[in-house]
Amino acid sequence: MSLVIVGTVAFDAIETPFGKTDKIVGGAATFAGLAASYLYDQVKLISVIGEDFGDDNINILKSRGIDVEGVEIVEGGKSFFWSGKYHNDMNSRDTLITELNVLADFDPKIPASYQDCTYLLLGNLTPQVQMQTLDRLAQAPKLVVLDTMNFWMDVALDDLKKVLQKVDVLTINDAEARQLSGEYSLVKAAEIILQMGPKYLIIKKGEHGALLFGEGQVFSAPALPLADVFDPTGAGDAFAGGFIGYLAKVKTINFTNMKNAIIYGSALASFCVEKFGTEQLQHLTAEDIKSRIQKFIALAKFEISE
Q: Which residues bind its own copies (CB under 8 A)?
A: 88-90, 184-188, 205, 207-209, 211, 217-223, 225-229, 256, 259-260, 263, 290, 293, 297-304, 306
Quote the least distance from Cβ 298 to its own copies, whole Å. 7
| 88/139 with CB nearer its own copies | 88
Beta pairing, strands 2-6 & 117-122: parallel
Distance of CA 41 to the CA centre of its chain: 17
Residue 200: which H helix or E strand, with range? strand 200-204
Report the C-alpha dihedral over residues 10, 33, 131, 1, rounded to 10 degrees: 150
Least spacing, CB of residue 159 vs its own copies, in Å: 29
Closer to its own copies by CB, 164 or 221: give it. Answer: 221
Q: Which helix (H) or strand (E) holds 81?
A: strand 81-86
What is the signed CA dihedral for 208, 156, 181, 209, rounded to 10 degrees? -10
Nearest to 179 by CA among 155, 146, 213, 211: 155
Choice between 97 and 300, CB closer to its own copies? 300
Smallest distance, Å, CB 303 to its own copies?
8
**CB neighbours (10 Å) of residue 162?**
15
Distance CA 110, CA 129 (A): 12
Q: Which is nearer to its own copies, 109 or 205 (CB)?
A: 205
Secondary-structure breakdown of the chain: helix, strand, coil percentages, each rounded to the nearest 5 = 40, 25, 35
Nearer to its own copies, 142 or 208 (CB): 208
Question: Please, what is the minimum distance in Å from the beta carbon of residue 304 to its own copies?
Answer: 5
The CB-of-256 to its own copies minimum distance in angstroms stands at 8
Nearer of residues 156 and 299 to its own copies, judged by Cβ: 299
Minimal distance, residue 181 CB to its own copies, in Å:
12
